[in-house]
Amino acid sequence: MPEDNEEIGSVSPSRYEQIVAELREVVDQHSRGQFTIGDRALEIEPSRLRDGARPEGGWSVRESLTRLAEDIGLKYSTVNNARWVAARWPKEHRQKGVPFTVYRILASIENETERFTLVKQPPAGKPRWTADDASRVLGWQVENPVSKQEKISAIHALAQDEEVAAVVTTDLLRRPAVSAHVAAEDRVRVVEEFTRDETVAATVTTGLLRRPDVAFRAMSAC
């Protein structure tokens, strides 16, 4: 971690603090704006058990919110999401300094009492909520993993893409220090999987037969 008196990016610590203060106000304005959109959308279409067509006919909720979104130049999903968050956070439970993103994440907490109490209490040792802190409460993946498990989860998420997984696996197998921490049975499974390819199996077998110590152990185990 850099020293507190070192430049942060290209600015001095004092200038950085000025920028933070300025942008916190911008974030507050953004949050108020998002809640305003949500509150007005709720006024047009109050929450109901099912947001479908009205029983008596007329405009459906989606049609009304689509019209509103188009008239103010936003996406339907943006307006509908703001409406949902506003419904989950009545005005009396909104706290100054909490970003709208945090409200949106914590809105997924079903228990109202828990939700309204939690937003007033930032995580221990922190002066305010962050999006990652809110995600941790719900067990969601964070953008900036800190703990070992969060880093593992991030790698697994990225490795869902087979091409990414292949590159990562290749890179890790080239690191002896990493391989040394892999259990023997897991290494055996990796070798077994790779040697399903006959060409790979032939190359591996040739290499092993050139190692007398390995060949001797294999024959002794038979």
Each residue of 157-196: pLDDT tens digit? 666 766 655 666 666 566 666 655 566 565 555 555 555 6
Q: What would the DSSP string read from start to end of 37-93?
A: HHHHHHHHS---SS-S--TT-S--HHHHHHHHHHHHT--HHHHHHHHHHHHHS-GGG
For residue 136, pLDDT beyond 90: yes
What is the dihedral angle through the alpha carbons of 146, 147, 149, 153, rounded to the nearest 10 degrees?
0
Q: Which residues fall within 8 angstroms of residue 38, CB to CB, at 6 or more apart?
A: 82, 83, 84, 85, 86, 87
- Please give the Cα distance from 60 to 53 (Å, whole number): 4
The confidence score (pLDDT) of residue 5 equals 72
- Please give the Cα distance from 27 to 21 (Å, whole number): 10
Q: Name the residue among 1, 74, 62 with its Cα closest to residue 37.
A: 74
Half-sphere exposure of 89 (CA within 13 A, CB side): 34
- Map residue 171 onto helix, strand or coil: helix
For residue 113, pLDDT beyond 80: yes
User: Regarding predicted confidence, which is higher, 143 or 15?
Assistant: 15
The confidence score (pLDDT) of residue 143 equals 87
| Predicted TM-score (pTM) above 0.85 | no
